[in-house]
Amino acid sequence: MAIKLLLPLRIAQGVFAIIVLGLSGYVAHWYNADTLTASPSQVNFLIFVPIFSLIALAYLELAPRFMAKASHPYGHLAFEALNTLFYFAGFIALAAFLGKLLFCRGSVCGAARADAVFAAFSFLLWTGTSTLLAMEIFKGGFRSGTQDSRPKMAMKETVNPENV
């Protein structure tokens, strides 16, 4: 069941990454073009995170299909955990930054708030897929090339014909 649920979650992660990237880019552009200050590091971090997510999604989806030897379950779990951590740090940092602003109005403020919300939803999606992957790995599934190809022989109890 986890595998059937994973692809729609991956698609949602990709869509949310593109949305977060666009919103963060808009806010960063506004700061760089319309103010005398550089864009805040919180916004810049939320430009990095979706780019990292899109690279991670490419690895997580394409490596098992086309490069099975380059695909390792713990590598997948590491990418999942990093994305979860990055989105958590990003949306918390941006929300704290927005909460400390003296005034926040206009389209850029709405975009920054939406950016924090979409980053929070991305965090929830990555948490969900990390949990699904960890459950799959630690219950013994999703092994890449480590399974024994020989069939398991069940022991049978038979009667020795000499004793009958």
Least confident of 57-71, 127-141, 148-162: 148-162
pLDDT at 142 over 60: no
Give the mean pLDDT of the chain. Answer: 88
This prediction's pTM: 0.80
* Whole-Å CA distances, 14 to 25, 95, 158: 16, 22, 57
Report the phi/psi class of residue 142: left, alpha or beta, with left for phi > 0 and alpha for psi in -120 to 50. left
DSSP 31-93: HHHHSSSPPPHHHHHHHHHHHHHHHHHHHHHHHHHH-GGG--HHHHHHHHHHHHHHHHHHHHH
User: Helix 2-34 crosses helix 41-66 at what angle (to 10 degrees)?
Assistant: 150
Tell me what the mean pLDDT of segment 142-160 comes to. 59
Token readout for 20 is: 């977060």
Q: Dihedral sign, CA of 55, 60, 64, 65?
A: negative
Q: Which CATH class is domain 7-144?
A: mainly alpha
Q: Where along the chain do its domains lie?
A: 7-144
Give the pLDDT of residue 144. Answer: 52
Note the pLDDT tens digit of each residue in 3-34: 678 889 999 999 999 999 999 999 999 999 98
pLDDT at site 30: 93
Percentage, residues of the chain above pLDDT 70: 87
Question: For the segment 59-103, what is each residue's pLDDT rounded down to a tens digit?
Answer: 999 988 888 888 888 999 999 999 999 999 999 999 999 999 888
Q: Which residues contact 163 (CB under 8 A, 6 or more apart)?
A: none
